[in-house]
Amino acid sequence: MYIRYIAVIPVFACTLSLQAQEADSLKTEILNEVVVTGSYENSIRRNSALQVNIADKSFLQEHFTGNLMQTLEYMPGIHSMDIGSGFSKPMIRGMGFNRISVTENGIKQEGQQWGTDHGLEIDAFAVDRVTVRKGPSSLLYGSDAMGGVIELSQLPAPSENQVYGEIAMLGKSVNGTLGASLMAGVRKNSWHTKLRFSEQHFADYRIPADTIVYLTQYLPLHNRKLKNTAGFERDISLFSEYRKGRYYARYAVSDAFQKAGFFPGAHGIPDASRLQDDGSSRNIDLPYSSVNHLKITVHQQYVHNKSTVYSDAGFQNNHREEWSLFHTHYGSQPLPDKDPDRELAFSLNTFNSSLKADLAYSARWKHTFGLDVQYQRNSIGGYSFLLPEYKRLTAGALWTGIFRPTSKLSISGGLRYDYGKLDISASRDVYLEKYLREQNYDNETVEAYKWRSYGVNRYFGDISGSLGISWIPDRSHLVTANIGRSFRLPGANELASNGVHHGAFRHEQGSASLGSERGWQLDASYTYERGNVLFTASPFISWFDNYIFLKPTGEWSILPHSGQIYRYTGAKTVFTGTEVELRIDFFRNLTYQITGEYVYSLNLDEYTPLSFSPPASLRNSLIWKHGIFQFRVELQSVATQNRVAKNEDITRGANLLHCGATVKIPLGNTNVDITFSLKNIFNTKYYNHLSFYRKVEIPEPGRNFQFLIKIPFKNKLQ
């Protein structure tokens, strides 16, 4: 209902815009932002041995979908693991889950990212700039960043005292999305503060198919819609910064709430009777999930001569619940007195703190020393069981250095030691124990199954390190290379999960004896940029001696309706591949761009591919710009993924045509930005190999028309 109130705000915004008649119009401000962002990108790329991509404000607006990870898919090497049309999680070069860190305002986002059906709780409207670092990043960001880092950051404060803001409105045809966001900010002397409220509502989404197939069973779809995939998202955030002399502080508070239904044919046992039309495409019925993510962060720094000392502290609470009509596989399990349909609940509290110092006493050397500490506590609830309660404490100490012998060459490297302790609570299922005894199982089997998790108290410690170069032989060429050793502590799910994951159709089981993931990773890149031509190639190879993954065991679980046991197992693996980008500016207004990516994964113990390996793909784009207009047409080609793991389906390739247009309409002293896009123009039926719904052969959404309107406003303060 909040959308009704936000939708009338543009009238107020336009009034403010027309009253602001200063010569330094917002139009000029936007042009300046583009220039500053470009300098930031060039600086980052030339001072990093890792491959770095920047999504600035114009990129985020042009490709905006209301879902941050789907927006970033337009970058080579970045993939979105989708859960329906609402939520997604990131993957970089074939690595996802706890191997990718997402940081916002300097603090790593902590939730239930281990699950295939758990999305990322981030307000896409609130993101100003994204920096993606591909490759081993454990050195700076801890053990969970061995696959890369996605940094979300704010743009610099306005240069003058002013009140400013923005109204944004979003609409999609494929699932009836209606979204809006209101941001208001003020810069007054040393203080800069902004507040944002966003909300999105979406209905059941359409697919280009009348039926889906699960285990040879044909399930009909009413009106080509996936029943109960509607949902909504509501976000609020407050950001404030203070700058006085050599001191700078940044404070941020955000709360993100998401609720979305699970398609009944993809949760539990698919049944045609559960897919009958219920008369509404916007209601959220059982089963569904809800998650609320509260985050509070504080950053402080002080500059003295050529040294900077800075600290970060943060608290997060991620509360996720999955609701499904109470059902018991054991006749002795009673109906819970409170919230009887709450199947699973996870409440994760995370405390972060770090202290770092940058020392640059000469033009050639820069050193960084740092300490990081994190404490987590996860509690559980619900009538079902999957993940036990646990506590996790990690601490790390690091040193990094950059040596610049000449203006064209920089050598970077560093070392880090991490220590971790994981304390997992034992959990005994008395109802399961009684059921198994009634089924006349022997004592050995009963003892093995009645413990849903054994108590685990493990300590881990290991070293990360890297060495890289960045070489600029002349203005047109940039060469980088980096070799790194990284490791990752196993998660509680990998050590001690033991239950039926209905959303994934399997019995998932941890292994308490697993060691840390360890690997060596080599990245390189070459960039040529001269005149109207830009070319970049970024090959990589990674080798792990204990890569942890879910492996089908061939053992049949005795838990009712559970199927085969999938157990977390370590194996020697290799990842290799490359990303390529070519951009050519023709004439004055026409640009051709092609980006491609390829990932090859191999389990060296069994000589089979790893699951969730992204297929090779190409994007051919033609962009025409003239004055206030921009038009884009794109051909997206996805190859067939026939290198699949055991029990994983081959996914056919597809060619998809998209187009879009952007226009900046002058209004007073501002520009109203309007972006239109049409995706999957020919309503092609295709599958996303990384989708949560791929296992039940649900194709991706069909043709989708989308609009995004942004109305900025600004008024000077005296």
**Structure confidence by residue, pLDDT tens digits, 521-545:** 999 999 999 989 999 999 999 999 9
In a 13 Å sphere around the CA of 208, the CA atoms on its Cβ side amount to 13
Instruction: Report, as an integer, the average pLDDT of 25-33.
Output: 35
Which percentage of the chain shows pLDDT scores above 70? 90
- Name residue 404's amino acid: R
User: What is the per-residue pLDDT for 311?
Assistant: 96
User: What is the per-residue pLDDT for 87?
Assistant: 73
pLDDT category at 299 given cuts 50, 70, 90 is very high
Stated as kind and residue range, the H or E segment containing 69 is: helix 68-72
User: What is the per-residue pLDDT for 540?
Assistant: 95
User: What is the per-residue pLDDT for 564?
Assistant: 78
**Structure confidence by residue, pLDDT tens digits, 588-603:** 899 999 999 999 999 9
Q: Give the C-alpha separation, 302 to 468, whole Å.
A: 29
Using CA atoms of 217, 221, 222, 225 in order, give the dihedral in degrees to the nearest 10.
160
Whether 17 has a pLDDT exceeding 60, the answer reads no
pLDDT category at 32 given cuts 50, 70, 90 is very low
User: What is the per-residue pLDDT for 26?
Assistant: 32
What mean pLDDT, rounded, does the chain reach? 86
User: What is the per-residue pLDDT for 554?
Assistant: 76
**Structure confidence by residue, pLDDT tens digits, 457-507:** 999 999 999 999 999 999 899 999 999 998 889 988 899 888 777 656 678
Sign, Cα dihedral of 335, 337, 340, 346: negative
563, 585 contact by CB (below 8 A):
no
- Asked if residue 287 has a cis previous peptide bond (ω within 30° of 0), the answer is yes
User: What is the per-residue pLDDT for 19?
Assistant: 37
Instruction: Give the range with max mean pLDDT: 61-65, 90-94, 133-137, 230-234.
Output: 230-234
Strand partners, 345: 321, 381
pLDDT category at 452 given cuts 50, 70, 90 is confident
Q: Which of 221-235, 260-274, 425-439 has the lowest mean pLDDT?
A: 260-274
Using CA atoms of 254, 72, 634, 477 in order, give the dihedral in degrees to the nearest 10.
130
Strand partners, 236: 197, 255
pLDDT category at 616 given cuts 50, 70, 90 is very high
Using CA atoms of 28, 31, 32, 34 in order, give the dihedral in degrees to the nearest 10.
160
Q: What contacts 544, CB < 8 A, 6 or more positions away?
A: 517, 518, 519, 572, 573, 574, 575
Domains defined for the chain, CATH in brackets: 2-716 (2.40.170.20)
pLDDT category at 169 given cuts 50, 70, 90 is very high
**Structure confidence by residue, pLDDT tens digits, 398-411:** 999 999 999 899 99
Whether 22 has a pLDDT exceeding 50, the answer reads no
Helix H, strand E, coil C: the string for 132-166 is EEECCCHHHHCHHHCCEEEEEECCCCCCCCEEEEE
Residue position matching structure tokens 């028309």 = 705
Whether 340 has a pLDDT exceeding 80, the answer reads yes
User: What is the per-residue pLDDT for 224?
Assistant: 87
Whether 38 has a pLDDT exceeding 50, the answer reads no
Q: Give the C-alpha separation, 110 to 124, whole Å.
A: 17
- Name residue 139's amino acid: L
377 or 277, which is more confident: 377
Q: What contacts 640, CB < 8 A, 6 or more positions away?
A: 615, 650, 651, 652, 653
User: What is the per-residue pLDDT for 392?
Assistant: 96
Q: 3-state SS of the chain: helix, strand, coil percent to 5?
A: 15, 55, 30
How many other CB atoms are there within 10 angstroms of residue 508's CB atom?
A: 23
Residue position matching structure tokens 């109130």 = 5
Q: Give the C-alpha separation, 184 to 276, whole Å.
A: 45
User: What is the per-residue pLDDT for 290?
Assistant: 93
163, 484 contact by CB (below 8 A):
no
What tokens were used for 6? 């936000």
Q: Which long-range contacts (CB under 8 A, 24 or more apart) does 241-244 make?
A: 241/157, 241/191, 241/192, 241/193, 242/190, 242/191, 242/192, 243/157, 243/190, 243/192, 244/190
Angle at 687 (CA atoms; ends 684, 693), nearest 5 degrees: 130
Q: Give the C-alpha separation, 484 to 475, whole Å.
A: 28
User: What is the per-residue pLDDT for 118?
Assistant: 76
Q: What contacts 530, CB < 8 A, 6 or more positions away?
A: 475, 476
User: What is the per-residue pLDDT for 559?
Assistant: 77
- Name residue 111's amino acid: G
User: What is the per-residue pLDDT for 508?
Assistant: 84
Cα separations in angstroms, 678 against 46, 658, 667:
36, 6, 26
Instruction: Report, as an integer, the average pLDDT of 376-380.
Output: 95
279 or 244, which is more confident: 244
Q: Give the pTM.
A: 0.89
What is the three-class DSSP state of 622?
strand
User: What is the per-residue pLDDT for 137?
Assistant: 82
Q: Which of 8-12, 37-41, 265-269, 487-491 has the lowest mean pLDDT?
A: 8-12
Q: Give the C-alpha separation, 519 to 542, whole Å.
A: 7
**Structure confidence by residue, pLDDT tens digits, 553-583:** 878 888 776 777 888 999 999 999 999 999 9
Give, to the nearest 10 degrees, the angle between helix 443-450 and helix 430-438: 160
Cα separations in angstroms, 478 against 54, 137, 148, 402, 406:
16, 21, 21, 17, 14
